[in-house]
């Protein structure tokens, strides 16, 4: 990966689209280079909106924003807030489950395809965002050039975090939104392996998350605690990268290997990220994450595929 000592200042543009009367917020940062390498769509997780996750600005932290990193390298980049999160609508009395999130991904891609002429996306999802992204790819494979699933979970087997979370399932079933605060945000970085993230980054992340939300939907928690699996690997036909932090308490290693084995496309990769727990873009080793993702998204398509001549 080409490391830069400085980075370009990249401005963003807000957009809005509608999904059945629900307003969804989108955020775009366009490629700096004239030759564009593709369009990256970032899909956020259960407990925070999109901009804090993918466009976090931290003084003195080079490329703290994943969107800036990829835009500087020739990719158009987008993120968006799911229904119930951030700047998107929170008016419906629903818990915004994973299937609803996959609908949101479809609505976001509808808008980008219409306004920017994009035909296929490089899709990255993290945690429940990976589940939403995977379900979207299962439903709309023609829209996905490459799919990256970070902190993903298939059946939930071997996940200590989900085992602990299931104890609160009756509580989550009784409400559509759960409160979040600074202590909760800090717990994301403390529960698996403390020390994987710098304190100043955790606090900046918490500031950004809490500026947008004091509560978030319960639907992804309910699904991940009681309804897994929600995607079928044999129906995900696109090139796929599985990314797992070494210390991640959500993504059970053996569970992911079994999922990986069932992916039908031979263009697939499994990467373990050393020294990383759950929220990979906010970790000390975040540049490793960017490198892995950049390599996958910029990989040439196979010329020979082993078919009959």
pLDDT at 5: 53
Give the separation between CA 181 and CA 214, rounded to whole angstroms: 7
Residue 196: pLDDT above 70?
yes
E-assigned strands of the chain? 13-19, 22-29, 38-43, 75-80, 121-126, 144-150, 177-179, 215-217, 240-245, 268-273
Give the separation between CA 150 and CA 261, rounded to whole angstroms: 17
% residues pLDDT > 90 (the chain): 93
CATH topology for 13-297? Rossmann fold (3.40.50)
User: What's the CA dihedral at 32, 36, 37, 42 to 10 degrees?
Assistant: 60
Helices 98-116 & 219-226 angle (0-180, nearest 10): 120
pLDDT at 1: 45
Give the separation between CA 246 and CA 115, rounded to whole angstroms: 39
Residue 3: pLDDT above 80?
no
pLDDT digits (tens, 9 = 90+) for 154-188: 999 999 999 999 999 999 999 999 999 999 999 99
Q: What is the DSSP letter of 299?
A: P
* pTM > 0.75: yes
Here the tokens at position 289 are 């994450």
Under the banding of pLDDT at 50, 70 and 90, the label for residue 2 is very low
Under the banding of pLDDT at 50, 70 and 90, the label for residue 35 is confident
Instruction: Compute the C-alpha angle 54/237/113, nearest 5°.
Output: 50
Here the tokens at position 101 are 């999130």
pLDDT at 241: 98
pLDDT digits (tens, 9 = 90+) for 243-252: 999 999 998 9
User: Any idea where the domains of the chain sit in the sequence?
Assistant: 13-297
């Amino acid at each position: 990966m080409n490391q830069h000592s400085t980075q370009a200042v990249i401005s963003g543009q807000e957009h809005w689209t509608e999904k059945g009367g629900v307003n969804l917020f989108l955020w775009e940062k366009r490629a700096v280079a004239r030759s564009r390498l593709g369009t990256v769509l970032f899909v956020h997780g259960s407990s925070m909106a999109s901009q804090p996750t993918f466009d976090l600005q931290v003084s003195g932290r080079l490329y703290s924003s994943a969107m800036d990193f990829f835009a500087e390298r020739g990719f158009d980049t987008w993120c968006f807030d799911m229904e119930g999160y951030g700047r998107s609508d929170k008016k419906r009395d629903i818990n915004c489950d994973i299937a609803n999130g996959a609908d949101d991904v479809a609505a976001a891609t509808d808008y980008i395809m219409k306004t920017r002429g994009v035909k296929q996306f490089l899709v990255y999802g993290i945690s429940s965002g990976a589940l939403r992204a995977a379900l979207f790819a299962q439903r709309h494979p023609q829209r996905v050039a490459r799919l990256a699933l970070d902190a993903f979970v298939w059946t939930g087997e071997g996940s200590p975090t989900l085992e602990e979370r299931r104890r609160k399932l009756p509580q989550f079933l009784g409400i559509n939104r759960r409160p979040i605060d600074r202590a909760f945000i800090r717990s994301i970085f403390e529960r698996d392996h403390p020390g994987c993230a710098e304190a100043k980054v955790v606090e900046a992340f918490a500031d950004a998350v809490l500026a947008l939300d004091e509560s978030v939907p319960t639907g992804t928690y309910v699904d991940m605690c009681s309804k897994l699996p929600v995607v079928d690997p044999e129906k995900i036909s696109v090139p796929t990268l599985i990314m797992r932090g070494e210390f991640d308490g959500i993504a059970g290693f053996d569970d992911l290997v079994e999922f990986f084995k069932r992916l039908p496309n031979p263009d697939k990769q499994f990467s373990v990220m050393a020294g990383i727990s759950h929220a990979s873009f906010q970790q000390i080793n975040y540049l490793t994450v960017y490198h892995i993702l950049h390599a996958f998204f910029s990989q040439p398509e196979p010329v020979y595929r082993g078919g009959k001549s």
